Structure 1
Amino acid sequence: MSSFSIEWLDLREPADFTARDKNLVQIALDSLGQKKDPISPDRILVDLGSGTGSTVRALTKLGASNFVWRLVDLDGKLLDEALKRHGKQLLIEDYQADLTVVNELPLTGANIVTASALFDLASTDFCDALIARIDTRKTVFYTALNYDGTTQWSPAHPLDETVLEAFNMDQLRDKGFGPALGPNATDYLKMKLENAGYQIQVAPSPWQLSGEQQSLVENLIEGIAKAVAENYGIDSNALREWKTYRLQHAATGSCVIGHWDLLALPGE
């Protein structure tokens, strides 16, 4: 399972927060009987692939309180950073663990399991095993910012669709969990959770980027070009020209990248 740099996670966090569907978060918190003025934490939230704690920051901004925040990530450096940022303000339990070993994930006692920008990297086997564990306790499940395979650039370039098709194929590669779901993640989760008797709500959470997020846009362009440079039949000169064009417009153009959020509540 691959990890991400603190710099990249920090760069994307504001775009993630803006994109996250706020209504779905409120429904999730309301379903747990969230207290407004907590005296002591009495709910456990498990965040898988927690990184530096971006989900913690997002949910607390949106009113989450009275939680024990159980952060789970393979990268100890990211967990240390999360503790550095929040250890004195919140009650945090950090678990360095391989997410692919689902039966050993620290889900005991969880009232809600969350993840952000994770399941498009995950496989059907991982999702099936995780849903099976969640279902045994009828735990609330909330996941945000799963890529849906759509990207719209402005101004347009003739190679945009070709690059997008190749990138979406690359998203299906093994990212450490087995063959990734990529753009199919939300549909697959919805189907499997509905089959388990959960009530599902989904909401779009697209990144809507402009020159104000120039550094993020430039990083995206570089990453996309690198991902499709081999194995997908795109002429290297054409790809180089596409990347140059995109970088030239990073400060003045715009980009919309589709994501979806999903909330699963146990059935009656």
Structure 2
Amino acid sequence: MTEEVARADADWLALREPADAAARSVQLVNALRPHLPTDGLVIHDFGCGTGSMSRWLAPQLSGPQHWVGYERDEDLLTRATAAPPPLSRDGQAITTEWRLREITRLPPSDLTGASLVTASALLDMMTREEIERMVASIAGAGCPALITLSVVGQVKLAPAHPLDGRITAAFNDHQMRETGHGQLLGPGAVDVAAAEFLHAGYTVQLAPSPWQVDSRDTVLLESWLTGWVGAACEQDSTLQSEGSDYLGLRKEQVEGGQLAATVHHRDLFFLPRRASEIYISGTVPWLVSPRAIAPVREG
């Protein structure tokens, strides 16, 4: 199963966690810090899985922290509950609680007092209506949001292969398939979320967060390849025969230390905007128009 599939199991999440941590934008965390209270944080983690976002972000934030994780998969929530919580940046123990809940239908009271809402690898698995409801909940709380690792539909493999483009296109179509909840947004989710937050009175800052893996981590790369090609072939049945040969070749390249993959993502930081102010950080503005969403370039 790949990281872009609508539901992920705990083993896959554990396998990909180091790659996730390496990909997320530290620059957006630096931009976030000045807008957080200094007397203690209450952080709500949407689609928390096994708690990987708290393990990555809590050590970058100082002071007392209470994390509230929301997850609709009971098995993942059980894993999150069993994991020891991390320490804050200044060495303080954080507290956690876990809620089995559908994050797009939260009552306003659930986010009362929230300092921050976070999520990771979530937006592309949502429909437009689900994102609209989620944004309304966050805007109702009036807090910032940091949402990481949203796919944008671009994958690069080295060495290249003639079938790469067709596999990528079919996988993207799979990401935008119809489900019982409606049509998933897949690579279009970043634009939809940005527009919804802007409409709700937020400013938006984007940063690239490429997810990279190579043959130094054979298990992770093979697992990702299997899911990526499998989803593409499920979406486009004409790829079945060629896709099987393609996957076999790519796995040989993995075993031979000859393959690397980059899955491109965007991280997003949303900040409530007071009616009379625009906050400028360095040379990158907090944007007030959906026509002018500027990326942050790192490295």
Tell me, yes or no, whether TM beats 0.5: yes
Q: 3-state DSSP class of the match of 1:33?
A: coil
Which one of 240, 247, 252 corresponds to residue 251 of structure 2?
Answer: 247
SS at match of 2:217: helix
Structure 1 runs of 4+ with >6 Å offset: none
Q: 2:22 aligns with which of 18, 25, 33?
A: 18
Alpha carbons 1:102, 1:126 under 8 Å: kept = no
Q: Cα distance, 1:99 vs. partner?
A: 2.8
| Structure 2 match to 1:259 | 265
Q: Taking structure 1 as reference, are residues 101 and 174 closer, same or farther at Cα in structure 2, changes over 3 Å only?
A: farther
5 Å-filtered alignment, 1:60-139, equals: 60-86=58-84, 89-103=93-107, 106-139=110-143
Distance 1:91 1:205, change over 3 A: same
Q: What is the rounded CA distance, in whole Å, between the counterparts of 1:246 and 1:188 in structure 2?
A: 34
CA pair 2-238 structure 1, distance change in 2 beyond 3 A:
closer
- In structure 2, what is the Cα distance between the partners aligned to 1:207 and 1:177? 28
How far apart, CA to CA, are the structure 1 residues paired with 2:110 and 2:15? Answer: 29
Query: SS at the partner of 1:260?
Result: strand
SS of corresponding position for 1:50 = coil
Per the TM alignment, residue 101 of structure 1 is displaced from its structure 2 partner at its CA by 2.7
Q: Deviations over 1:120-177 (max 9, x none)?
A: 0001101111111221232111100000100000111111000100000000124664
> Which runs of 5 or more structure 2 residues have no equivalent in the other structure?
87-92, 275-299
1:10 is aligned with what amino acid?
Answer: A
Does structure 1 retain, via aligned residues, the 8 Å contact 2:108–2:140?
A: no
Q: Partner letter of residue 189 of structure 1?
A: A
Distance, in Å, in 1 between the alignment partners of 2:6 and 2:109 is 17
Q: What is the TM-score with the length of structure 1 in the denominator?
A: 0.91
Cα displacement (A) at 1:108: 2.5
- Contact 1:121-1:175 at 8 Å conserved across structures: no
SS at match of 2:263: strand
TM-score relative to the length of structure 2: 0.82
For the 8 Å contact 1:121–1:177, the answer to whether it is kept is: no
Q: Provide the identity percentage.
A: 31
Per the TM alignment, residue 2 of structure 1 is displaced from its structure 2 partner at its CA by 5.5
Cross-structure match for 1:196: 200
Q: Does residue 51 of structure 1 match 2:49?
A: yes
Q: Where does the alignment leave 5 or more consecutive residues of structure 1 unmatched?
A: 36-41
